[in-house]
Amino acid sequence: MPKAKDTEPQRYHPISHGPEIFSRRPPVLTSAEMQWREEVVAFLQKRQSDISPELSAPSSLAVIKERPATYKVGNETSSEAADSQPIKTEILRERLTEEILVPLRIINEILHVQFGSPNLGNQKDLIDELVYILLTRRSKNKDAEKHLIAIKSKYPAWIDVACAPPEELKAVIMGGGLETHKVKFIQDSLQFIQKQFGRIDEANFVDMSDWQLDQFLKQLPGVGKKTAACILMNVRGTDTFVADTHSIRVLDRLGIFRKELGLTWRQEEHKKAQEELSLLVPPHIRGNLHRNLVALGQEICKSIPECERCELKKFCTYYRTKAQAAHAEEKKSLAIDMFCGAGGFSLGLSRAGFKIVAAIDNNPDAIRTYRLNHPEIPDEAIIEDEIQSDARRVKLKQLRNLLKGQELDLLVGGPPCQGYSMMGNRVPHKYENGDKSFGSDYKFTEDKRNHLFKAMLRVARELKPRYVVIENVPGLGSASIKKEKTYANHIAESLERLGYQVKVCLLEAVNFYIPQNRHRFFIFGTRQGEPIPNLEKFKQDIQEGQMTTLKHALYDLPRLSVSDGRWVAAHSNGIGRNIEWDQQYLERFQIRGNTHILFNHVSRFNNEDDVRLYSELKEGETYQELVSRIGMTKQFFKNYEVKNFHDKYYRLQWEGQSKTIVSHLHKDGNSFVHPDPNRQIRSLSVREAARIQSFPDDYIFCGSRGAQFIQIGNAVPPVMAQAIGEVLMEAIRAQENGIGDE
């Protein structure tokens, strides 16, 4: 039997995405970034800087991907060895890329969409900028701008400002704070320039190199490295990062630079921070990152931060620390989510009032998505385990430790469904580890995937939760494990032997106001003595006119063509919104939310033949129906012969519901051609598929586009999960109120 993974809890930073948030491929570095990396390596090694993965915070620079607890140094692999030797150069290069370069790229992109890398009132004229920067000390940008305008309105030339009575100049800038200091620095600096050049004019500096200008500026009273860097960045466009109070505070809270790098700065350490951050922040983003961090720090990430308004909160160590501390103190019914995938079931249960104490899956992309979107759940409670390949590998000791002696109220899970699904049975199956292919000799009962429910039964037997919910495709109720016994029968009988009363039902997503014809098989187990949940609530069909349509779900998203969109883009911000449609779905189920950022709205590439075929399809029409309708030539369709998939090419209906969102979308979107009557000739984007599955817009999917489609297709829709959770919560509260077994 293969050796189990080390169970020592790992630490992660929520931004670094091992190495890219939307791809598992290594990031592409420019020549300037490679040079930057070598300079930083030299800087850190010169300081004999050690990088230890251990942190007191609940996340670390190692991010949303699992990493070893120690790094190999020389021939040793202990943290003690790491403490005594410089880290190896190749490891340091990798960590700088994954833990500084990639996170800062992502942060800057998100903030650029939100704030637009704003002009912070800076001036293009060097003298104007010098005076403006001196006026910004302990002042808001708008006050500094107002005072600069007032100075230039009162005094015809800068020499007049230099020679003005200090009290007179002080009166002009009154109200910004530190007026006496500002007047002295402004006048002393202007007088110094006058003395050096005989005039106060930007032309004095035209022939100076950037280095010469930097050296000159730092001679001026009140001008240090930070002020000089800011002037050079705004006047000459130098690739410089300015470490001011706001940027230091925001970076510290985000957790990009940690003490194990020897690179932490208190608010008063501007000089040290400026020197080190001017090197550590990668090239090309320095100026814009500074502007965006300042904008964030001034508007949201203040001394007392307004975290709930922040678009970076899921990526922020400070926020995640607070969220996990609050989660630890919550007194709620406890749930474990097995085969958790991207976290749709967990999201719905959390909204219903459950506290998730553990989530388990073996897909690294799904685990990264789960961790990012559930900042309240501690890293050690999000477990990447091999249960998908071996039902015996579930770590019961770890689960007991996470429960901390408390009773488990709910165990949920959706074991991989490909073995039971009609889609999955159309092609030869393989073991998950790829060591054996059944091919034409495929035997359903020998497919390991079809026995992973045993992991849930094992946990149910050992932890004895009050309720068990197992979700799967309808094929679970028809696929036979033994003669005249289906898998569903077998699972139900197994739960009954464990002391559970079992109810089975087929739930339809449309009856939960989800715009999708998705049928899923649910097995509900209630421990003897517990109130039986009222599953009759799920049997009330909604009227066709009340159903949510694709129009309700997708109408406000930016229009895309083929191979279009951005992974991080601006949301529509209410433009063209339809209040009635929003109330039907987007607002009713918190899909739209308050986010200003739209993630994952990217369409895939399609060749010309696909686009031509898509354009000919009517809403609700398959390709075979298209051929029958217009009699197109066989020559055109020679590449589209689909013997086993009669509905492979299908255009969705704007006023109807989607077909079942399935993981097959990672291969192609031919069965999900966009229904927009304004003719978006393409298949669904990741974000559109997520909306159809009822994921909120601030739910960010990690991994490649294909990996994201797999996560979405395999998920339990959060809205359906919430409804299930609410029914179970009613039963739990009934027991708490003294109502026994019904």
* 355 DSSP β-pair partners: 334
410 pairs with which residues across the strands?
335, 467
With 80 as the cut, is the pLDDT of residue 484 above it? Answer: no
Q: Is 535 exposed, middle or buried (CB count within 10 Å of its CB: 0-12, 13-18, 19+)?
A: middle
- pLDDT of 55: 34
pLDDT at 696 over 80: yes
Question: In whole angstroms, what separates CA 379 from the centre of its chain?
Answer: 15
Q: Span 146-174, mean pLDDT?
A: 96
Q: In this structure, which topology does domain 550-715 adopt according to CATH?
A: DNA Methylase; Chain A, domain 2 (3.90.120)
| Model confidence at 462: pLDDT above 60 | yes
pLDDT value, residue 468: 98
3 state SS of 570 = strand
Q: Can you give the pLDDT at residue 314?
A: 94
Mean pLDDT taken over the chain: 83
Q: Which one-letter amino acid corresponds to residue 639? A: N
Tell me what percent of the residues of the chain surpass a pLDDT of 70: 79
User: 727 pLDDT exceeds 70?
Assistant: yes
pLDDT for 579: 80
Q: Is the dihedral of CA 692, 696, 697, 701 positive or negative?
A: negative
Fold of the domain spanning 332-546+721-736? Rossmann fold (3.40.50)
Mean pLDDT of 525-551: 89
Report the distance separating Cα 541 and Cα 544, nearest Å: 9
Which range (85-99, 244-258, 671-685) has the least confidence?
85-99
Domain ranges of the chain: 31-117, 126-308, 332-546+721-736, 550-715
pLDDT digits (tens, 9 = 90+) for 571-592: 876 666 788 888 889 999 999 9
For 243-309, the three-class secondary structure string (H helix, E strand, C coil) is CCHHHHHHHHHHCCCCHHHCCCCCCCCHHHHHHHHHHHCCCCCHHHHHHHHHHHHHHCCCCCCCHHH
pLDDT in tens, 318-369: 999 999 999 999 999 999 999 999 999 999 999 999 999 999 999 999 999 9
Q: What is the pLDDT of residue 653?
A: 96
CA distance 505 to 714: 19
Find, among 233, 13, 11, the residue nearest to 106 by Cα: 13
Predicted local distance difference test score (pLDDT) of residue 70: 31
CATH architecture of the domain with residue range 126-308: Orthogonal Bundle (1.10)
Please name which of 462, 431, 426 lies closest in space to residue 448, comparing C-alpha atoms: 431
pLDDT beyond 60 at 422: no
- Is residue 190 predicted with pLDDT exceeding 50? yes
